[in-house]
Structure 1
Amino acid sequence: MKTHVKVLVVGGGAVGCGIAYHLAKAGWEPLLVERDELTAGSTWHAAGLLPLFNMGYATSHIHDYSVKLYAGLEAETGLNAGFTRCGNLRMAQTDARMDEYMLYSSTAETIGIEHQFLTPQQIKDRWPLVNTDGLKGALFHPTDGYINPADVTQAMAKGARMAGATIERKLQVNGYAWTGSEWIVTCEKMIEKGGNLVPSGETFEIRAEHVVTATGNHAQRTARLLGIRIPAIPVEHQFIVTEPDPALLKWRADGNPEHPVLRDADAKWYVREERGGWILGPYEEGAPARFPYEVPDSFRADLFPLDLERIEEEYMSMIHRLPSSEEVGLKDDFNGPICYTPDGNPLVGPAPGLRNMWLAEGFSFGITAAGGVGHYLTQMMTQGEAEIDMASLDPRRFGSWMTTEYAVKKNEESYSHVFILHHPDEERDAARPLRTSPAYDRQKARGAQFGQVNGWERPNYYGPVDAPADFDHNARNFRRGGWWQYAKAEAEAVREAAGLIDATAFAKHMVTGPGATAFLDWLTTNKLPKVGRINLTYALTQTGTTRTEYTIVRLDEDRYYLVSAGAWEDYDGDNLMKSAEDFMAAGGAFVAIQNVTTQWGVFAIAGPKSREILSKLIRDPQPETALSNKRFPWLSARRIELGMVPVNAIRVAYTGELGWELHHPIEMQNHLFDNLMREGEPLGLKLVGARAQNWLRQEKSYRAFGTELGRDATPLEAGLDRFVDLSKDFKGKAAMQEVGIRSKCVTLLIDGPSDADPWGREALFLDGEKIGRLTSGGYSAAFGKQIGMGYVRPDLAEPGTKLKVRMFRDLYDAEVTEDSPYDPTNAKIRVDG
């Protein structure tokens, strides 16, 4: 057996074999080790469905790739993967569900996933066994279907071997050690004894330059061996198989085609044909998480007892939708563990804090994802990045603050939420509130309706404190919900008077030491600011795309304060630490990185009256000029005193108005909040949430990381040339220049429907041809119409270009506007006083 390899893949389920297959195709000759037999984990008892439907952009690409790959595996390997392309019919009982399908449709359109909309009558005409009572319609994927999980895994395993991979079974990993250049992986042979799999005592080491873990239900054991947190914990999933249904048998005997996979999303189940009967797979409330710390050695290809009472509602719903199934008995049942994560997306990418360690864990739809994950993870490993932005799946999106209990509660919630309405502004309630800034209770008392970012509670908007008892603050809609009027009023307050935004969730890092200046100059694209000044800048990937956006505040010659997106605290921290290590290993002077996120609270105050409000609180020998352009110019930072609170103030505003970010000791936050509200409210100061802020920043064409900025576009493609200093060398510069301009980021004003705004997932068209997509969307209070940002072909990025945007299956007029359509000269930001 090989003991020195370029890459070791740990785990022989569908995901592990899909990764080995693609790494082998890339010429890396992987070694895959599996502690039991291939498919012995969740793979063997999976239902094998291949749902193309997904509201995430990256995941939609992954699923689409998998389905296309599986269709050709038999021709390549000679093994039939059992792929049945019968289609997938997603039924809708409500208008809101149809709205969800229409939003998905636009996303699918940008990727090229084939789909159709059907009326209830069209459903009945094609599949008369389906009861269409109460349906509004359906979304149909004709290329969807199902596959035999074991067969597709074996086919990918054979394809991997054909391309140079080696696969070893009955080999358990017991330890990982990083030498600085390679991993030493301690393994032990496993043997069969009395029906159990037990250690043989025979151990040895494998040396690997890279390791990929795809350990499925054993992710918690993997996390312990690596000394990291992996919030992937299994949840019970049941499905039942019925005896043959005479009506179905007659339907097929009459020469009719197989039914598509049926999904009644509002009833929370899927159904497909199985040997003349039906398979029902529910996603019910109350399914428990299992093995929060480790899978017992005695648990192999085992199952849990069925709990029919827990799925009674879903079972009766199936009978309602397929009346012929009522008299059919149960033939078989399955209740096995399937891994979930707190947000339902898998963990794909670099392990936090570790070199050349790659995670592929937490797959609740592992069969569907296996091929695509193998493809895109291989791109990340062999080319530096995938061709699509994989940040939404990055393992570092979850912070180190996360605990086992948190993961259990959120994973159980993710399971029960598989078929809920996935609104773009979706907020889930489990394990909340957890991370709260000191002003949380004060904000809540003033009507704050909170969202969650990286565990932090953050106001989305402020509703009426005296709302009637039947007013549902949490009601969400694919169109303008009840919150919309309040967000609009907040946006108007910022433009007309002043708004106060809690930005405490911002990620904050200190970079210090004798090598700090040279390090940041190499890491980021822009010139470094002078002492007391700030700059907006970007860190790039190996392929020249945007890894992170930073606001850099230079506190001293070799002392910097970096502010970045709150959702990406550990992602940014991991990149800073690893980049600093690379810098020092290459001969650079010492650099220290410190995460200070929880030490500093942040309030952003913005609007034409913000200077007046702060002037009432500032303690300065010359308070009347302390905030003037001369003493406190735009894009500068100063330490000031607001009442008894020492504040590191930065003159910048994400809303495009005169404003400051007030970085303050977090333990003094309530004192500062009370003073700001006391002095500000008589002048029109209004508390403002994240939704209004998102609209306001689009009026200024401010790009946001995770939407306009990501690992699939360069800063030059994002139109951020002014923040890229090509006169200096920086990490990723050559790759960025080599990429060129494939598309351009633009801002559009949209004449859309009267009751809805774009969400940032919509396709853009010119003369019927798809030419781009939105990445952000919302409403512009300043222009009285919808607004959006997105990417188009470079030749269509000129202001005045007339395009169309798809919303709810209709095309609406959209016009490319100049960057920063609101106050393009920044006169309001620079106004003196």
Structure 2
Amino acid sequence: MMKELPSSAKVVVIGGGIIGCSTAYHLGKLGLTDTVLLERKKLTSGTTFHAAGLVGQLRTSANITQLLGHSVSLYKMLEAETGLGTGWRMNGGLRLACNSERWTEVKRQATTAHSFGLEMHLLTPKEAQDLWPLMQVDDVVGAAFLPTDGQANPSDITQALAKGARMAGVSIFEDTEVIDLEIDKGKIRAVITERGRIECEKVVVCAGQWTRAFGARFGVNVPLVSVQHQYMITEAFGVPSNLPTLRDPDRLTYYKEEVGGLVMGGYEPNPIGWAENGIPEGFHYTLLDSNFDHFEPIMELALGRVPALETAGIKQLLNGPESFTPDGNFILGEAPELKNFFVGAGFNAFGIASGGGAGMALAEWAVKGEAPYDLWPVDIRRFGRPHFDTDWVRTRTYEAYGKHYTLAWPFEENQSGRPARKSPLYASLKAQGACFGEKLGWERPNWFADLSTGEKAEDVYSFGRQNWFDAVGREHRAAREAAVLFDQTSFAKFALKGRDAEAALQWIAANNVGRKHGTLTYTQMLNDKGGIECDLTCARIAEDEYYIVTGTGFATHDFDWIARNIPDGLNASLVDVTSAWTVLSLMGPKARDILASVTSADVSSSALPFGQFRTIGIAGAPVRALRITYVGELGYELHLPVEYAGAVYALLMEKGAAAGLVNGGYRAIESLRLEKFYRAWGSDIGPDHTPVEAGLSWAVKMKSGIAFRGREAIERQLKSGVKKFLACFTVEDPDVVLLGRETIYRNGQRAGWLTSGGFGYTIGKSIGIGYVRDPNGVTAEHVLSGDYELEVATERVKAKVSIQPLYDAESGRVKM
């Protein structure tokens, strides 16, 4: 007889795969015993049951690596806690490199691992073969070994998590399909199942490949699609049980031992989708037909590595659909479209590796209202308008699948689904040699080729200096010596309106936005720990209106943060006006002269000082001229209605020609901002970093007496000090390429990692930004008193440190 459903619960988890069971387990551990997990069929019957079960940890983000490390820690003790076998074996993981550039990538990964405190060893081909004697290594240049990687049995580990959840008081119901959600005035009231109604406050949807369609019913966008993924299981042929997992990315394949045989799968460059018109009704515990023809190229690549596969018996070629995402990262967090609707889905065939940590993060997110630490690479709010179109999502996802094991080149751009969102100037800029990148669907000029000399507007990737290096240098120097024009139309732009707009924004913003009309305020927005959730500019348009400008990729995230934090009862509403405004950023020492030549308005320093804006006329357009800069030079962001873009751009280029005005792209912006030690959200600053730690205390209104979110945390830090502090590093050798994630050593001891890296053309040096860390406390004096090295692809190089900008625009003086 089936157990009766409860009439109410605090949290309902939908989906009984590894992610749902892990979330329920962790909710139970947090004391939420009135949690209910609902599974429409049987636990693991969606995609978990056919997962391969490899558990690797290293990612490019320290926090995602930490999250995967939580999975390992959990899996090590779960059997002892629950009494159920999990199949967990920590035999380590090998990753091969078969050419010089892959070996460079692996060495950079080793440096990243060391930065994050993860043990990783570089091996010779013979040492790798000693660990994995079944393989031939004639083409292997080297290998990496992570001792704490491992493997698990997906179904067993999920059942153990489910038992652990039950032991903590969580109720689990199988054969219970969720039919609907009851939502009243934007709030979740109940989950409606085929067996009855459960009143609840929060829902966590971990429904795998079903999550996109389910979320869409309630206006929630979850960008994932189903892709067929195959792996082969051999008969036993004497494979030792202590074999590490093996990833052979140059041959697109992975391996693990199973019952004396091997599991071997891969990521083909031409994936096959599934269920493009919807998942069949009742689909569960179901595999797809094996596609031997499609798998044959993978098999041929594998035979070159493991010749014994040629004679090994094939037990099964397993073909199961998995949910994949447009960027290859999974999806976690509270949906921006619906409060208390949490998502954990799109695990790109590494759900077992992620399961323990993802469940922990989702549980804490649901209970505490925020992630346990910055999870921006997997945050659901990283998506935006293009991701509502399933066809676009599918096209981009197939590209991401095909790149799963390809070299992860620095600065690599996606090619599929482009162009999608274009500035009005796109065609004109393309004709002038723009090489475009893409962010959140927007086409943005990264750099400009000199077509007159035969330069081609296309990226050629490498781990050294790439083909655009000199072109970006030209744009950089123009910004320092003359003037440059950047098309930044892709900026996310919001209007905050209402009689209480100032009161609302004063609570949300850390800086004082209560200034007079025509004033710009650069500000962070903080969480309760003082962490930086947003980093943006607010322009005071009127008594009851602000114009807010933030980064292209943060449109969904920042809009969600601001809208959610408007205090109850205040009259203030937020509207996304991104598509209404073109932005032309005119930067450089000759910017004022050029601007004065195209308008009759007074743009002198006295009439339009730094930190102010005025509405001026250019070519018939009403232009908001914001006196602000992200490149460290005299400059203006010119915000104008999109229909005027062509005319204003043409006039600026015509009048600016004599002054040396040129087009510029985002890679020059990056180079220029590094020299000025300007911070970038998502790398240098974020929810785990406070203004005090980031050297931005000057932008916090502590002396105002005005209450704002995060104020108490900042007060505590100012009194007690911090354990990390942001600094800027340079190396003398211009051939050393800094990309970010290189390890910082202070006085010979590991002290952190770089958050950003690049080259400063004015100072002629590579530049890195990163936090110097010490559990005993860090001050500016501590930072400056150290002797520094940076580990770059396992090699240590001497570095100089600064906590000030490296270049001063007013004097033109290099400071380092």
* TM superposition score category, shorter chain reference: over 0.9
What is the deviation of 1:130?
1.3
* Counterpart mapping for 1:756-771 below 5 A: 756-771=736-751
Residue 630 of structure 1 aligns to a residue whose secondary structure is: coil
Conserved 8 A contact 1:748-1:814: no
- The code of the aligned residue for 2:706 comes to K
Residue 434 of structure 1 aligns to a residue whose secondary structure is: coil
Residue 614 (structure 1) aligned with residue 595 (structure 2): yes
What is the deviation of 1:744?
3.9
768, 772, 788: which is aligned to 1:792?
Answer: 772
Q: Structure 1 residues 472, 315: closer, same or farther in 2, change over 3 A?
A: farther
- Residues 575-621 of structure 1: per-residue CA shift (max 9 Å, x gap): 222223xx1x2x32x1121110010011111111111221221133x
Distance in 1 of aligned mates of 2:410 and 2:71: 25
Residue 25 (structure 1) aligned with residue 29 (structure 2): yes
Conserved 8 A contact 2:186-2:338: no
What does residue 344 of structure 1 align with? 328
Q: Structure 1 residues 454, 114: closer, same or farther in 2, change over 3 A?
A: same
Distance in 1 of aligned mates of 2:743 and 2:401: 29
348, 354, 365: which is aligned to 1:380?
Answer: 365
What is the deviation of 1:817?
1.0
260, 263, 266: which is aligned to 1:279?
Answer: 263
Count of residues in correspondence between the two structures = 796
What does residue 555 of structure 1 align with? 541
What does residue 238 of structure 1 align with? 230
640, 652, 674: which is aligned to 2:650?
Answer: 674
* Counterpart mapping for 1:452-531 below 5 A: 452-466=438-452, 473-528=458-513, 529-531=515-517
Residue 113 (structure 1) aligned with residue 104 (structure 2): no
What is the deviation of 1:633?
0.7
Residue 484 of structure 2 aligns to a residue whose secondary structure is: strand
Residue 366 (structure 1) aligned with residue 351 (structure 2): yes
Conserved 8 A contact 1:243-1:277: yes
Please, which runs of 5 or more residues in structure 1 have no aligned partner? 190-202, 621-625
Conserved 8 A contact 1:35-1:173: yes
Distance in 1 of aligned mates of 2:751 and 2:26: 30
414, 418, 421: which is aligned to 1:435?
Answer: 421
What is the deviation of 1:367?
0.8
Residue 786 of structure 1 aligns to a residue whose secondary structure is: strand
- The code of the aligned residue for 2:767 comes to I
Distance in 2 of aligned mates of 1:693 and 1:347: 30
What does residue 12 of structure 2 align with? 8
Residue 505 of structure 2 aligns to a residue whose secondary structure is: helix
- Residues 700-736 of structure 1: per-residue CA shift (max 9 Å, x gap): 1211111122111112221111111112101222234
- The code of the aligned residue for 1:420 comes to T
* Counterpart mapping for 1:81-480 below 5 A: 81-179=86-184, 183-189=188-194, 203-245=195-237, 249=238, 252=240, 258-292=242-276, 294-364=278-348, 365-402=350-387, 403-466=389-452, 473-480=458-465
What is the deviation of 1:800?
5.5
What is the deviation of 1:505?
1.1
Residue 574 (structure 1) aligned with residue 560 (structure 2): yes
Residue 603 (structure 1) aligned with residue 584 (structure 2): yes
Residue 729 (structure 1) aligned with residue 707 (structure 2): yes
* Counterpart mapping for 1:585-734 below 5 A: 585=568, 587-588=569-570, 590-620=571-601, 626-726=602-702, 727-734=705-712
Conserved 8 A contact 1:268-1:314: yes
- The code of the aligned residue for 2:235 comes to E
Conserved 8 A contact 1:797-1:816: no
- The code of the aligned residue for 1:9 comes to V
Of 221-230 and 356-365, deviating more is 221-230
Distance in 2 of aligned mates of 1:143 and 1:449: 42
- The code of the aligned residue for 1:27 comes to G
Distance in 2 of aligned mates of 1:797 and 1:266: 45
Distance in 2 of aligned mates of 1:472 and 1:64: 41
- Residues 405-439 of structure 1: per-residue CA shift (max 9 Å, x gap): 01111111121111011134121111111111111
- The code of the aligned residue for 1:619 comes to S
Conserved 8 A contact 2:38-2:173: yes
- The code of the aligned residue for 1:772 comes to G
Residue 59 of structure 2 aligns to a residue whose secondary structure is: coil
Please, which runs of 5 or more residues in structure 2 have no aligned partner? none
- The code of the aligned residue for 1:603 comes to L
TM-score by length of 1: 0.92
Distance in 2 of aligned mates of 1:134 and 1:797: 49
Distance in 1 of aligned mates of 2:271 and 2:435: 28
Conserved 8 A contact 1:445-1:465: no
Conserved 8 A contact 2:538-2:549: yes
Percentage identity across aligned positions?
36
Of 394-403 and 384-393, deviating more is 384-393
Q: Structure 1 residues 311, 765: closer, same or farther in 2, change over 3 A?
A: same
Q: Structure 1 residues 26, 689: closer, same or farther in 2, change over 3 A?
A: same
Conserved 8 A contact 1:748-1:789: yes
What does residue 778 of structure 1 align with? 758
Residue 813 of structure 1 aligns to a residue whose secondary structure is: strand
Residue 259 of structure 1 aligns to a residue whose secondary structure is: coil
Distance in 2 of aligned mates of 1:714 and 1:662: 30
What does residue 41 of structure 1 align with? 46
- Residues 490-529 of structure 1: per-residue CA shift (max 9 Å, x gap): 2111111111111111110001111111111111111113
Of 36-45 and 570-579, deviating more is 570-579
What is the deviation of 1:18?
0.8
Q: Structure 1 residues 752, 759: closer, same or farther in 2, change over 3 A?
A: farther
Distance in 2 of aligned mates of 1:736 and 1:233: 42
Q: Structure 1 residues 34, 552: closer, same or farther in 2, change over 3 A?
A: same
- The code of the aligned residue for 1:750 comes to T
Q: Structure 1 residues 163, 737: closer, same or farther in 2, change over 3 A?
A: farther
Distance in 2 of aligned mates of 1:569 and 1:88: 38
Distance in 2 of aligned mates of 1:385 and 1:220: 22
Q: Structure 1 residues 181, 681: closer, same or farther in 2, change over 3 A?
A: closer
What does residue 550 of structure 2 align with? 564
Of 318-327 and 730-739, deviating more is 730-739
Conserved 8 A contact 2:382-2:553: yes
What is the deviation of 1:460?
1.3
What is the deviation of 1:377?
2.4
Residue 414 of structure 1 aligns to a residue whose secondary structure is: helix
- Residues 327-364 of structure 1: per-residue CA shift (max 9 Å, x gap): 22322011111111111111111111211111111111
Q: Structure 1 residues 819, 775: closer, same or farther in 2, change over 3 A?
A: same
